[in-house]
Structure 1
């Protein structure tokens, strides 16, 4: 059943993802609840009949209200609407991350550019690290990340994996089915190999799982020494603040 759901969503991913990236400013403000209608044959083999968009959450009985009330509570917690920030955009917010973080951003905004075909010295090291991490993520022989791979992370990489860990803490009665232990088996069904998918897949494959200390109050047996990994402090504080601002959602009784 989980395989049917994964394959169905993957079939629509190539069409939905570009539209979401174009028209949605933040991934957490756009979500959808799908209702899957399945039929089981005499051999107990499930068959997909249809997928409903925005199924009804109206309750016609106390039991129905209880079930759908819990579902609504889990949905709102899982989505994790981001806390509003300053309305003013930071300088060069419309520039790509690498350019925005480099010293060449000011020159670009002024109408000039660095020497063609050669990135400025301040960008050479990040570009090399990015190339190495890309090779790791798209190498089918590398199943999970290591300490050396995590050392190549940029701030946006941490943003991706920490968002995933935050979501796991808010999962409620939901269950993540992708990325999971068998995530690699779904790779052939994607028409486009997404960077974030590969990053999350290999992050989740780490054994034992690496739990960032900023997101957990418990002791972890992670193979990655905390002092050996550079994590952007501001980024970690932002994710921790988002967790603290989540309020309990009352369910229908």
Structure 2
């Protein structure tokens, strides 16, 4: 079927995407910082689907690691058909005047610079083949800023803008670019945002049925399964009870 590269594959959207593409017969490159989880996923995908899996343990925030690990993969693995820039996080929830600058750095370095470092490495391989599809995972926060979301919303707005820029720059090379912006989804997202506070994380999803990681993975795969002449540029998806990043009808 082809090769898909998924960043942040050790949990949430990334893991679901890896499983979905493996189930469709794709060979999979998975990346992540948590080596034990990465190795476990590699073993599971290989045993369950009989496909080839390349597990790359590095931090997308570190340009030298991206170049040293991803940039030196064997030639046969460079024929990447789909790149899913999924690695990302929200850290903290505070007003701008009380923001933790370490949290700001983590979000900017992961959500924006990490996406750029990985894309800068992979795009020349796609360009040389005049084909490929890049999926950038954004957020409804890219479309509407909410209270105390300041820097996180800014990073996802940057993903939106970068996606538009990529689409323009890569037109001559017939490389598709799709930005997918999920709304409230129950993954490790809130647990990470609230620094492991399980009660706060669970409260986020009370009173409505959130998206699942599989919901997002299904949409990602759909966008990459369309005919060669069709490209979904920008897609916002939410649970039924959510209108945008701010309005959720909880019962």
- What is the TM-score with the length of structure 1 in the denominator? 0.24
CA radius of gyration, larger in: 1
- Flag the structure with more relative contact order, 1 or 2, with Cα contacts below 8 A and sequence separation at least 6: 1
The structure in which a higher percent of residues are strand is 2
